[in-house]
Amino acid sequence: MLKITNLHASVGEKEILKGISLTVNAGEVHAIMGPNGSGKSTLAQVIAGHPGYEVTSGSIEYDGQDLLELEAEERAQAGVFLAFQYPIEIPGVTNAYFLRAAYNEIRKAHNQPELDPIEFLDVMEEKLTVVEMDASMMQRSVNAGFSGGEKKRNEILQMAVLEPKLAVLDETDSGLDIDALRIVAEGVNKLKRPDNATIVVTHYQRLLNYIVPDHVHVLAGGRIIKSGGKELALELEAKGYDWLLEPVTA
C-alpha cells in the first residue's frame, strides 16, 4: 500500500529526514517510535503533504501512485489521513459543517453522490459512538475551546467518518489521560480492517498497549535505526532509547 524509498526532506536549509525507507502493507499496523526531534512528526506530515516540508530526494508510492505528485487534498481523497498532533482550531465553522464538507469532497472525488445535512446526520450518529462523543459536539466550532482529549477524539471521529485506507496518527497519545487514551485507542481498533493500514507515531510505548503493532521502527536523526516486532516497543520502554543511539553518535 505504501512504499517509502530513501526519503529525504528538509525545512528551509535543515535536512530532517535523511533517507527513510519503509513499506506498509494493507492490514498492518506500524509503530514509529523515537526520541524528540528524531523526525517522526516530519515523516507523518510529509506523507500528508504539509507545505512546510520540502522533499529533496526519494519517493513515496501509495496504491501504485506517486504520492508526492498529489496535493494534500488529493491525498486525502485517495484515502490518506493524518491525525494531527496539534489539531487546528477553526472558530466559526461547526464540526458538523466541516465533517460533511470533507465527507462530501471525498465522495465527489469518487463520483459518489453528496449527502445533505439530514442524510449526513445518520452517518454521524453511528460514528460518534466510535469515540464516545456527544452529538452536541457537532454544533461547536471545530476544535475551538476543546480540551486536549476532546481534540484528539475529534481527530479519530474525523478518521471514522472519512474511513481512510492509510491512517497516520501523529502523537495521538500525547496529553491524554488514561480514559481518553483508551477511548482513542479503541476507536482506532474499531476502524481497523484487512484493507486498511495504520501508522502510529509515538514517543511512548503506552499507546501500544492498546493498539498492538505488527512492526515497530525506531527513528533517530532522520533515519530508521532499528525495526522489529511489537516486542521492540517493550524493550524500548524498559531500556529507553540511549542504547540504540550510541552506535549512531559513535
| Residue placing its CB nearer to other proteins in the complex, 28 or 170 | 170
Would you say 26 or 109 has its CB closer to other proteins? 109
Give the nearest distance from C-beta 106 to other proteins in angstroms: 4
Residue 18 burial class via C-beta count within 10 angstroms: exposed 0-12, middle 13-18, buried 19 and up: middle
Contact positions vs other proteins (CB under 8 A): 48-52, 71-73, 75-77, 81-82, 84, 87-88, 90-93, 97-98, 101-102, 105-106, 109, 117, 141, 158, 162
Residue 82 CB, nearest distance to other proteins (Å)?
5
Q: Which is nearer to other proteins, 14 or 110 (CB)?
A: 110
Q: Which residue number, 26 or 121, has a Cβ lying nearer to other proteins?
A: 121
Question: Shortest approach of other proteins to residue 110 CB, angstroms?
Answer: 10
Could you give the CA distance from residue 86 to residue 174 in angstroms, rounded to a whole number? 10
Is residue 121 within a helix (H) or strand (E), and if so which, with residue range? helix 117-130
**CB of 96 or CB of 232, closer to other proteins:** 96
Of 132 and 163, which CB lies nearer to other proteins in the complex structure?
Answer: 163
Query: By C-alpha distance, which of 144, 132, 219, 136 is closest to 181?
Result: 132
Q: Shortest approach of other proteins to residue 6 CB, angstroms?
A: 24
Least distance in Å: CB of 103 to other proteins? 8
User: Toward other proteins, which CB reaches closer, 53 or 241?
Assistant: 53
Q: How far is the CB of 168 from other proteins (least distance, A)?
A: 10
Grid cell in block for residue 154: 475529534
**Sign of the torsion angle spanned by Cα atoms 180, 182, 187, 192:** positive
The angle subtended at Cα 168 by Cα 227 and Cα 165, nearest 5°, is 105
Beta strands in the chain (DSSP E): 2-11, 14-24, 29-33, 54-62, 65-66, 80-83, 90-94, 141-142, 166-170, 197-202, 215-220, 223-228
Residue 177, classed as helix, strand or coil, is: coil
* CA–CA gap between residue 24 and residue 30 (Å, rounded): 7
Shortest reach from residue 12's CB to other proteins, in Å: 14
**How many other C-beta atoms are found inside a 10 Å radius of the C-beta of residue 195?**
9
